Structure 1
């Protein structure tokens, strides 16, 4: 044995043995009434929780850092550690310290991590708490997501970019990843703090399939719509291994595996979801689309709403079905579902707690009351429309489930079963007997006291209790000569003496045993109830899904009436026709009597495929682009829209290229980001895509920018897919494109000029704009008058030297032949070789544009 081991106390030796098994976790080590942390864990715990870090000797005066808190404060502190990104292992005492003379047996009973928790203080009731796993294959990425708190389990596969998009959309709190893949993802900006590394052996496809099939007790996964070559099975298996081995979780409530089918919903890349501010605003205090239309009353509904907005449907039948239910709810406005929905607790997460034995008596009473509310909802809606009746059929509640809880638990059941008084009278006769003993305790003690007073003649005799020697008789000094010999003196005070008797000790044992027996019997009856309820988990999950679905549609109905939305006509056409459309978020933020200026927006593949929108900065070009996308998303999740009318075909992809910022950490300039995002659009657009382009080309020089913006617009126009596109630009030269391309139309945001000022009318009208009014915007921003004056003088000089916009011409290709180079130029051969080296069969449109820009810069440098 080493000298170090000799110095360790038995307690610290036990701690080190357990800590060795959980090196990546903060170990909360139960010692009596405290959870203690030691060494490095203590330093972290002290810092995160703001509690005192102490030092004490251990063994041969070895100094040990220590930080701890009372065991009953676990819920107060646990969520702070987890939300700070730490993994926490809870080590409990596994036996009663009073019943052993050796060191108390201890073991880890739970591991809580950011992505795996059933704790209400850690979980956000309105969001899923996903654990993700990723596996990189040669050509595809397998990915899986599990929210253990709700039982939702999803798998997907696709390109690397697709997996990044899913990661952003699902926003997992923890990512399981093989060590070999870490660098690949960190280079793409994924926060390394979210990673937890798993062993390479877990990435075997055949063993992964066996693991999944064994969990679901199936011979094939085809019933879930999952083929044998699905790459998402590997990360799904990794998740199950991780939860069973590291977390020791019961996974019986995870009964379904759902494939994420990329072509079953609107495809939006990570830039689009962020740029459109669908789930969250980019600005502190700002509103997102979710904030505006989410009026759900249940946690299940709120989480489902987020998923719908992240993955809008392209199933026309489902969209129509949701619309009809929303219409029915609006028509049946006398149905007051709000109060009933508010009464329903988070049924999905309660099922997870039930499966893992973490549910409290009070939560089960709340479950009973929630199921009663669900039954009332079922009875109300089944008498209404055909669609509402179909929903009512999905709310299947077994009366026996409610009866089991009602029979066993009192309505005012405590949070903790160990606090007692949770089980109803009549459930257990022995329990009732022990309760009677306690209830008659006062009377029984009074009887003993009265008997002793009569026997001894001590009229001032008292019976009391303390933790040192239990029940005792107290005799004043003036009567101590009357004390019987069989009484046993336990304490002498200044004015009195305290005694115990054989009868009192026997009664004390009876009382204390009754208290202990009551706790044990109540716990036993509660555990029996849990076992009886577990078979109903699937039923409760189904009810939860249906209530969440109804809650979302009730939210749509409420917001549609409140905000004066209209029912969109979604169909299989290739048009977008919005009359008097409004931006749902901006109109909500307008103060006082201000109202949003509505706009008509029409797109089609015949003569108005691309809208080229010009106008001043701050005039509202970007708002028009965004509201077009937001109306499309709202329509395809089944909601009404802020417009007088909307007729549109289904979009299967929505792309945006807006905003400008450098990504310095990855060495990418504003222009490079523009080109990368534009390239993503060009390479992935479909015939049912909606493309929003805002100020393409502003990250480079003016003429480069115009050239690239023109080329991208022309490419989209000429492509046989003809995706519907809105292009906002400050390059007024692009207005000429409408003369050369039959499906490009010019629009501008109307501006009213006065002698000294400009007024933005926010109205989209046909025709191009000849001015950007940049100096007016600078004036509005509060620029010093001297700068405004200088700007005007410089502008006049530039306009005079460069002439008007009509001097900008795009020549026919025949006029451009060999005019770029002087044949005698010494660098001609170099340019020629570089051009000939380009593989035109394999180069993408965006790569060609970037190469063209590089060659132009070289030519300019030569000049």
Structure 2
């Protein structure tokens, strides 16, 4: 539609839409939010709405669709969850009083990173909005993130792009804010991760930004915090009083775990399902509050490296374990605490309602009880938390005196404020209540005068108050008693001068009552807003207490023990278990294992058949370290552990289809990451390094990596392999020790013992595992025959190579031939020649089987 053909309303719509070209514009029209043009076409598909047209008789009708304003949040959530932005455009004046077009403007831009209304399924998860600034001159990044629903605000300086990408993936951010200086190559990497990129221009400095960044003294970090806050202010257009001052963090302040290690170890997400079930978080989460659940997740993702803080958490868990009854009382009180962090956020945003304030009051009433329980334990490990457990009696009293116990959801329709709180409000309510009483008396009086028993006095928003009489009773109305007001199919509605007068008084009282009640609610909300910092400190203390009681409860249920922190580079784990696997299998079926890495041992070379438990053994060691440094007890009978600085893992066969990297390339990159960044205080887990290439290549790389880690890094390393040839390395590498997972044969069947034993494995049992997988019996017999021949051939070559050199007794052909010379023909000679040249170690078993089959066909003349 040409500009000159646009109606005034569509001119206004288009002007606003031009300011938000990358967002769906929800344009308020009466009781609906409407979308037009491309927004309507795409929105109707995504939201499953009926697409209609505005000005359908015009030459170019405008596509449109809409959603009810009372249900708008559901539709916003659907779009934002799919990675879109939604601009909410409201009517800024009463349409009844407006002259000309009603003034409208966008009051909020909801984006994937700024969404604060989360459902119950996401209550224990953060929604982080991130920002990055690239200092290309000094080759470093400033990185910041915030959760608008909780007020958390952090900033860091990162030295590599890999560190930056790791933070993005670990935080599971859905949106990142960038400036115009960020290179396109980095933006391409971000887009491949499926993260929405938003751009923000520089805004003038304001007091709020200066306050929130006052603890940041680095110019680059100040710049990224300002970029993030500018975007938040530009999109949210409201108070951000609940945001906490920016906290600087260093990745090295925590046990460093890249996102690949978090993924491989299934800390937060199950590899197969992507869900929480089957993860360490799933096992440890016996928190009773939403904020406790979020803090647990943060502690899992960022374990400590500070020995003193780790011991403080261990002390607290030990105290709670020793005080069973107090712990149960604590859990009972925590269950009654609502999400204080997000309640504080809604108060600041101005989106809080009466029910939220009742939840706040109920939560604050639990604080003195929680504090009393902890004081009864009287342990210094809770000192910091007790300091912040300050009862907010003033907030409780204000809510208690003002808000009814069961308020409605809406804060503008009345019924939120208690009787007796405000004299003027009571006067309005009295007038309304008396008016209702008068109307009831009027109905009774008119029924008596007219003799019409079903006469009724009613009300609707269009015609106001009326007297309704069915048509069959119209002849009973005394002449000139009523004034006709409305005709219905089966009745007539009337009024009287007296009713009109009373109607004006009642409606005025009701309207004034609602207006005054909303003003009172806003004042109460603003008063509570002054206590947001105290509420947040309280929430942080309650969340920490909740996580610690969860650790105690889990430790008791699954028989975890307190580890001993050693200053020596020694690992001694007695009867260690993988806690998640044990929970799934059951305690009776799980086989525990020791891990011993003394000061004179840095590498355990683990051999054994597939499916025997090598990967589980390695993972349980990593989880033991992580749980220890989170402050939790560990799944073992006894444990002595140092404080590790980093964990590196190369476990499982993963490729990276986004960047087009094969499994082997990913394997080499992860190995290189460990080699470049590990220190003597790190833990390295390498599972089957080198399997993604030819046998000799893979074996050579595996040995070189083992030697490099042993000679140049000295990190504690668990290295599992199927290359049995590598087990001889214990002769040349003094800090390497061979261990294997036991297995035995019983009546031709393979039995896994799942027990780590000293020394190398005697064989790989590959065909046995294939049998367990269900391969055809004939195929397995054939594979066994081929294996026997190959082993015999290898033995002959070994004997030949090790025998004293002397003049051969017979022709070389006879020594290596599989056939008597007097019987050999041309076809068989050709097979022998090919066999001599066959790169046996460079072939897969299936390739060997295929080749042997071809030889068989050739020899048999088929």
TM range (shorter): 0.7 to 0.9
| Corresponding residue for residue 227 of structure 1 | 217
| Corresponding residue for residue 565 of structure 2 | 570
The secondary structure found in structure 1 opposite 2:334 is helix
- 1:242 paired with 2:231, answer yes
- 1:472 paired with 2:470, answer no
Contact between 2:627 and 2:633, CA under 8 Å: does it hold in 1?
Answer: yes
Contact between 1:613 and 1:726, CA under 8 Å: does it hold in 2?
Answer: yes
Contact between 2:211 and 2:245, CA under 8 Å: does it hold in 1?
Answer: no
Q: Equivalents in 1 of 2:490, 2:309: separation in Å? A: 86
Q: Equivalents in 1 of 2:785, 2:263: separation in Å? A: 40
**Over aligned residues, Cα RMSD in angstroms?**
2.5
Contact between 1:382 and 1:388, CA under 8 Å: does it hold in 2?
Answer: no
The secondary structure found in structure 2 opposite 1:154 is strand
- Deviation per CA, 1:616-669: give whole Å up to 9, x if none: 011111111110000000001011111000001100011111222333442323
| Corresponding residue for residue 296 of structure 1 | 287
Shift of 1:488: 3.2
Q: 1:430 aligns with which of 424, 435, 447?
A: 424
Scaled by the length of structure 2, the TM-score of the pair is 0.87
| Corresponding residue for residue 582 of structure 2 | 587
Q: 1:507 to 1:658 in 2, by over 3 A?
A: same
Shift of 1:186: 5.4
Shift of 1:128: 0.6
Q: More displaced, 434-443 or 728-737?
A: 434-443
Q: Equivalents in 2 of 1:708, 1:495: separation in Å? A: 93
Shift of 1:453: 7.9
Q: 1:449 to 1:637 in 2, by over 3 A?
A: closer
| Corresponding residue for residue 168 of structure 2 | 167
Structure 2 counterparts to residues 640-789 of structure 1, below 5 A: 640-719=633-712, 721-789=713-781
Contact between 1:123 and 1:129, CA under 8 Å: does it hold in 2?
Answer: no
- Deviation per CA, 1:521-545: give whole Å up to 9, x if none: 1101101101111110000000000
Q: 1:525 to 1:367 in 2, by over 3 A?
A: same
| Corresponding residue for residue 17 of structure 2 | 19
- 1:154 paired with 2:154, answer yes
Q: Equivalents in 1 of 2:800, 2:243: separation in Å? A: 64
Structure 2 counterparts to residues 160-559 of structure 1, below 5 A: 160-178=161-179, 181=182, 183-185=184-186, 188=189, 190-191=191-192, 193-199=194-200, 215-217=209-211, 221=214, 224=215, 226-229=216-219, 231-284=220-273, 287-335=278-326, 336-387=329-380, 390=383, 391-448=385-442, 458-460=450-452, 462-467=455-460, 468-473=462-467, 476-484=473-481, 488-491=483-486, 498-559=493-554
The secondary structure found in structure 1 opposite 2:96 is helix
Gaps of at least 5 residues in structure 2 are: 803-841, 843-862
Q: Equivalents in 2 of 1:357, 1:547: separation in Å? A: 24
The secondary structure found in structure 2 opposite 1:666 is coil
Contact between 1:48 and 1:84, CA under 8 Å: does it hold in 2?
Answer: no
- Deviation per CA, 1:796-852: give whole Å up to 9, x if none: 122122238979999xxxxxxxxxxxxxxxxxxxxxxxxxxxxxxxxxxxxxxxxxx
Q: 1:480 to 1:780 in 2, by over 3 A?
A: closer
Q: 1:396 to 1:805 in 2, by over 3 A?
A: farther
Q: 1:727 to 1:787 in 2, by over 3 A?
A: same
The secondary structure found in structure 1 opposite 2:764 is coil
| Corresponding residue for residue 141 of structure 2 | 141
Shift of 1:445: 2.1
Shift of 1:52: 1.4
Q: 1:560 aligns with which of 552, 555, 561?
A: 555
Shift of 1:189: 6.4
Q: Equivalents in 2 of 1:84, 1:31: separation in Å? A: 25
Q: More displaced, 780-789 or 63-72?
A: 63-72
Q: 1:722 to 1:805 in 2, by over 3 A?
A: farther
- Deviation per CA, 1:442-471: give whole Å up to 9, x if none: 4312444567789xx544484523435333
Q: Equivalents in 2 of 1:734, 1:136: separation in Å? A: 45
Shift of 1:227: 3.5
| Corresponding residue for residue 843 of structure 1 | none
Q: 1:232 to 1:190 in 2, by over 3 A?
A: farther
Q: Equivalents in 2 of 1:496, 1:638: separation in Å? A: 75
Shift of 1:122: 9.1
The secondary structure found in structure 2 opposite 1:574 is coil
Shift of 1:48: 1.7
Q: Equivalents in 1 of 2:778, 2:182: separation in Å? A: 56
Contact between 1:748 and 1:768, CA under 8 Å: does it hold in 2?
Answer: yes
Q: More displaced, 158-167 or 431-440?
A: 431-440
Q: Equivalents in 2 of 1:57, 1:25: separation in Å? A: 24
The secondary structure found in structure 2 opposite 1:85 is coil
Q: Equivalents in 2 of 1:808, 1:586: separation in Å? A: 48
Shift of 1:29: 1.1
Q: Equivalents in 2 of 1:798, 1:330: separation in Å? A: 59
| Corresponding residue for residue 118 of structure 2 | 120
Contact between 1:269 and 1:655, CA under 8 Å: does it hold in 2?
Answer: yes
Q: More displaced, 407-416 or 537-546?
A: 407-416
Aligned length: 790
Contact between 2:209 and 2:226, CA under 8 Å: does it hold in 1?
Answer: no
Q: 1:433 to 1:805 in 2, by over 3 A?
A: farther
Q: More displaced, 52-61 or 20-29?
A: 52-61
Q: Equivalents in 1 of 2:423, 2:694: separation in Å? A: 88
Shift of 1:199: 5.0
The secondary structure found in structure 1 opposite 2:27 is strand
The secondary structure found in structure 1 opposite 2:484 is strand
Q: 1:25 to 1:311 in 2, by over 3 A?
A: same
Q: Equivalents in 1 of 2:54, 2:386: separation in Å? A: 64
The secondary structure found in structure 2 opposite 1:579 is strand
Q: Equivalents in 2 of 1:188, 1:450: separation in Å? A: 77
Contact between 1:463 and 1:471, CA under 8 Å: does it hold in 2?
Answer: no
Q: 1:188 to 1:21 in 2, by over 3 A?
A: closer
Contact between 1:130 and 1:170, CA under 8 Å: does it hold in 2?
Answer: yes
Q: Equivalents in 2 of 1:658, 1:233: separation in Å? A: 39
Shift of 1:272: 0.9
| Corresponding residue for residue 857 of structure 1 | none
Shift of 1:342: 1.3
Q: Equivalents in 2 of 1:633, 1:35: separation in Å? A: 49
Q: Equivalents in 1 of 2:452, 2:290: separation in Å? A: 62
Contact between 2:113 and 2:175, CA under 8 Å: does it hold in 1?
Answer: yes
